[in-house]
Amino acid sequence: MYVNQENRDENGNAIPGHFFITSPNMTTIPDITQDPHVVRVRRDGRFATADFTLFPQWYASGTYYLPYVRKKPEDVNDPYTTIWHKVRREDFVREEGSNIGGMGRLSESLALLWARLRRELMAKIKIEVSSGRHSKLELKELLFCECGMHFASIALLCAPQTYEGVLNLEVPRTSLAP
């Protein structure tokens, strides 16, 4: 987004000079110019205002697809609701007999839900890849997301890790871009 420093509103905020993409996930647009420059994972595994599924982001040509990322479905029976599940300590099962303290895995029931969803999304990706409707760059990005989703799913199902590690391996929501 281009901002003309000469044009300011009554609060002294710069008025965008070109396009500004908003998000259906928010009822208001926060002043993201005031956000800290360092992005850190929070205790709940989220990235606060840097989480593009919760807050609108600056437009960047390298991530042109972010405005198309779905918001959390309101219908609790929607199969994609699982992706926004807030992982709690109860979802983390400690690894019995581990030589390293604090190791465990995501509960099998939740990991299997994500694995099922991953299989469904990967089937949709295969359809899109074979459709011939996408440029090489778009296919590269789509296959990159597919690979990340695949490895995150394997790690969630098979690899003991810390609770914080589980929080950082949640299924990437970018795979939901149309």
pLDDT in tens, 20-44: 556 666 666 666 666 666 777 777 7
Give the per-residue pLDDT at 33.
67
Instruction: Kindly tell me the burial class for residue 38, based on how many C-beta atoms sit within 10 Å of its own C-beta (0-12, 13-18, 19 or more).
Output: exposed
CA quadruple 16, 22, 28, 31: dihedral positive or negative?
negative
Specify the long-range contacts of residues 135-142, CB closer than 8 Å, at least 24 apart. 141/65
Give the per-residue pLDDT at 168.
66
174 pLDDT above the threshold of 50:
no
Alpha helices in the chain, H assignment, sequence order: 108-131, 136-158, 163-168
- Beta-bridged to residue 8, according to DSSP, are 14
Compare 132 and 13 and report the one with higher pLDDT.
132
Task: Identify the band that residue 123 occupies on the pLDDT scale cut at 50, 70 and 90.
Answer: very high
159 pLDDT above the threshold of 60:
yes
Establish how many alpha carbons lie within 13 A of residue 72's alpha carbon, considering only the half-sphere containing its beta carbon. Answer: 15
Please answer whether residues 88 and 110 qualify as being in contact, where contact means their C-beta atoms are separated by less than 8 angstroms: no
The pLDDT of 149-178, averaged and rounded, is 68
Please answer whether residues 148 and 172 qualify as being in contact, where contact means their C-beta atoms are separated by less than 8 angstroms: yes
Give the per-residue pLDDT at 18.
62
Query: pLDDT averaged over the chain?
Result: 76
Q: d(Cα 144, Cα 140) in Å, to the nearest integer? A: 6
